[in-house]
Chain A
Amino acid sequence: MRPVSGLTLLAAGAAILAGTGLVFGLILSPPDAFQGEYVRIMYAHVPSAATAYLAVGTVAVASLLYLWKRRPAYDRVAHSAAEIGVLFTGLALASGMIWGKPVWGTWWTWDARLVTTAMLFLIYIGYLLVRELAEDSERGARMAAVIGIVGALDIPVIHYSVSWFRTLHQPASIVRGDIQIAPPMLMALMINLSAFFILYAFLLVLRVRLARLEDARAAAALGETG
């Protein structure tokens, strides 16, 4: 028998928080005065988006550390976070559309946050693709680190350019974030946010472990010893 590991604790924490979050989000929190029951989608959408941005931050920090220290461990973290980031960006986009359809009456609106998130999605798909296509993995790690840093630097600029591009010419569309949040709703949102963050940590640890195994496998295939 193995002792209870940190990973098991993370998994248990994520599961418990996610369960609590579902109960709060779907049952205990009140319907919104304007959006009605649709507001419950927020408790899945906002944490997904927040986790996506957290992952982007992880990629940037781990990439910087990798370029500085050149330890493969940092690169494995960056790669893993990028993959999980793409997942959560995709989920945030999908749930955002499902939220937008009943509330705004359209699947997609040219809102700054939506377009920025879509750009983020594309940049980090490029990041993953570069790793796939690189001639060797060390070089791929360096290239990916460059893209991870450029992408993270670019995101605020993209956000401002996209929001000004629309708002300077037409009145701002409905801004979801400005809705006054009632305490029970905030509670549900916070629980779900923490659930997603712990889930992110769990997935990241698991994915880094996989990256380590894959590196070990590649090293074994090369016949290296020691």
Chain B
Amino acid sequence: MNGFQRAGAVARKDLLLEWRGRQTVTAMVVFALLVTLLLGFALGGDSVRASAILWIALGLAAMLGAGRPMLAEAEGETLEALLLYPGSREHLYWGKCAALGAMLLLLWAALLPLAGILFNLDLWDRLPALLGVGALGVAGLAALGTLFAALAVHVRGRELLMPLLLLPVSLPVVLAGVRLTEATLTREAPGLWLGLLAAFDVLFLLTAPLLFEVLMEDA
């Protein structure tokens, strides 16, 4: 098996487990919906606020769900078995990152029409661009979320750690996502944000696998 196949197998396993239980995605969608409604109601449902509210909801939901798959593995004591398989730990990272990214992208795809309804946005003809923006942001969130999930497994008070780490570090993703979504909705030029978000993604997609291996040395 080469690296791609190995990563693919891990991603398929994570997504299959998630599909059987559907707990993480359900919790994330419900939580994101809750945040969207709360912020929309508290701040007022102006369409200009929609993209900020959407990205805050996505970021908070990622924080809630990112640690879950790995934690379930640690609790079921299957993480050790996973690590016993031959091959680089990096592939494990890629698989987990892809699975988390797929879940978050699903969440984003579910949030978009919802925002269209709640904030009265005309987004249907811009859906591909919006999904693209979402994918770029999700890549960054998944890259760091997977890394911090590996970190949180061996810490007392695991639930506390993810918000504390993921939220401040992924601030650029949220800010860039907000501005890019606004630019897409108002048909403005994205400017420097596209480059910034891409740079963030590349930076952490390159470094996180290496750091993941360090964390997984003796899980």
A151 surroundings in chain B (CB, below 8 A):
169
Asked if residues B156 and A135 are in contact (CB atoms below 8 Å), the reply is yes
With A133-B156, A146-B215, A150-B204 as known contacts, state yes or no: A161 contacts B176, CB within 8 Å.
yes
Asked if residues B203 and A142 are in contact (CB atoms below 8 Å), the reply is no
Asked if residues A161 and B196 are in contact (CB atoms below 8 Å), the reply is yes
Partner of A122, one of B168, B191, B217: B168
Asked if residues B207 and A150 are in contact (CB atoms below 8 Å), the reply is yes
Segment from A123-131, A185-193, A195-203 that makes contact with B: A123-131
Asked if residues A146 and B147 are in contact (CB atoms below 8 Å), the reply is yes
Interface size on B, residues (CB 8 A): 34
With A151-B169, A157-B196, A157-B199 as known contacts, state yes or no: A143 contacts B204, CB within 8 Å.
no
- Number of A-B residue pairs, CB cutoff 8 Å, is 89
Asked if residues A168 and B179 are in contact (CB atoms below 8 Å), the reply is yes
Is B164 located at the chain interface by the 8 A CB criterion?
Answer: yes
Asked if residues A150 and B155 are in contact (CB atoms below 8 Å), the reply is no
With A130-B161, A133-B161, A161-B171 as known contacts, state yes or no: A139 contacts B196, CB within 8 Å.
no
Please tell me the size bucket of the interface on A.
Answer: 20 to 34
Is B193 located at the chain interface by the 8 A CB criterion?
Answer: yes
Asked if residues A123 and B217 are in contact (CB atoms below 8 Å), the reply is no
* Distance between Cα atoms of A133 and B165 in the complex (Å): 13
CB 8 Å contact bits of A18-62 with B (1 = contact, 0 = none): 000000000000000000000000000000000000000000000
Is B200 located at the chain interface by the 8 A CB criterion?
Answer: yes
With A149-B211, A150-B204 as known contacts, state yes or no: A143 contacts B151, CB within 8 Å.
yes
CB 8 Å contact bits of B192-210 with A (1 = contact, 0 = none): 1100100110011001100
Is B13 located at the chain interface by the 8 A CB criterion?
Answer: no
Minimum distance in angstroms from B19 CB to a CB of chain A: 30
Is B45 located at the chain interface by the 8 A CB criterion?
Answer: no
Is A107 located at the chain interface by the 8 A CB criterion?
Answer: no
* Distance between Cα atoms of A114 and B68 in the complex (Å): 33
B164 surroundings in chain A (CB, below 8 A):
122, 125-126, 129
CB 8 Å contact bits of A150-175 with B (1 = contact, 0 = none): 11011001101110110010000000
B192 surroundings in chain A (CB, below 8 A):
164
7 contacts between A and B (CB under 8 A): A123-B168, A126-B164, A133-B161, A134-B156, A150-B211, A160-B196, A164-B196
Write the residues of chain B forming the contact surface with A, with a CB cutoff of 8 angstroms.
Answer: 144, 147, 151, 154-157, 160-161, 164-165, 168-169, 171-172, 175-176, 178-179, 191-193, 196, 199-200, 203-204, 207-208, 211, 214-215, 217-218
Q: A126-B168, A145-B214 are in contact. List 7 more A-B contacts (CB 8 A).
A: A130-B161, A133-B155, A134-B155, A134-B156, A139-B154, A143-B151, A154-B172
